[in-house]
Amino acid sequence: MNACRNTFALARIIWATLVWGDLALLAALLGFTGPVIDRVTRRWCRAVASAGGMRVAASGLDNVDARQNYVVVANHRSHLDTVALYLTCPVPLRMLAKVVLFKIPVFGWAMRLTGHIPVERERAGGQLEKIRPHLERLRAAGRSLCVFPEGIRQRAGTLGDFKLGAFVIAVESGLPILPVSIEGTRRILPPKRLRFTPGEARVRFHPPFSPAGLTPDELRARVRKILWDDLAAGSGD
């Protein structure tokens, strides 16, 4: 994408964030925190994907029960990972996200009011008492929690160390784990860059499984192997 088109794409994203972020804030303040918020979020994601030239393809959707709550665990390579997930996941999501995102005007305020959960990445497992009330509200509302256990975006062809927090939450809650592989987003928008290269993101939903009988460490190892085996067989972008 040339410089002029890229500048226009960024302007579209900023505008979409202001418009849909304000709508999300208004809906939350009026007490609409369920399907209305989900629709607003998807509209924002469509606007971002369109501006950045990102097409999204999903597979494994038959593995996901739309009536079930999950702890969704995905690899992390780009800011667009969340957009790709929201556009394809059959269950409504709320994110476990780093605290700094909640300080961004409009965007962060909307995140906080619409049920996303702030966390200090390095201490996610140790903040379970703070997270538990949020998780109970999500379960009651029929929403799933999404976590990127690597914490930061990784280089192409790599899978970072998984922090334990997501797996402590899964064991504590008893919710099934839904592993998700994401490819292609890094090529479209690499970390620490604001230049888009139009392309396709691929999201694969793996069969979910219960954490029953597993320790958080065992759960972490199992999920990491599922994602590593799948990503190693793909293009690695």
Number of domains in the chain: 1
Supply the pLDDT for residue 117.
85
For residues 148-184, b (16+ Cβ closer than 10 Å) or e, as one string? Answer: bbbbebbeeeebbebbbbbbbbbbebebbbbbbbbbb
Whether residue 14 is contained in a domain is answered as: no
93 is a domain residue = yes
Residue 184 confidence (pLDDT):
93
49 within some domain? no
Q: How far apart are CA 64 and CA 35, in angstroms?
A: 19
Given a cut of 60, whether residue 65 has pLDDT beyond it is: yes
What is the pLDDT, as a whole number, of residue 156?
56
- Span 67-89, pLDDT tens digits: 999 999 999 989 999 999 999 99
- Stretch 221-237: mean pLDDT: 83
Q: Which domain holds residue 156?
A: 55-233
Residue at 50 is within a domain: no
**Choice between 187 and 111, residue whose per-residue pLDDT is larger:** 187
Distance separating alpha carbons of residues 96 and 191, to the nearest angstrom: 19
178: helix, strand or coil:
strand
- Identify the pLDDT of residue 155: 57
**Cβ–Cβ under 8 Å, residues 147 and 72:** yes
Q: Note whether residue 97 is domain-resident.
A: yes
Q: What are phi and psi of 166, to 5 degrees?
A: -60, -35
Give the CATH number, domain containing residue 60. Answer: 3.40.1130.10
Q: What pLDDT is stored for residue 138 in this prediction? A: 83
Kindly tell me if the per-residue pLDDT of 163 is higher than 90: no
More confident residue, 128 or 235: 128
| C-alpha to C-alpha distance for 144 and 153, rounded to whole angstroms | 22
Could you tell me if residue 164 is inside a domain? yes
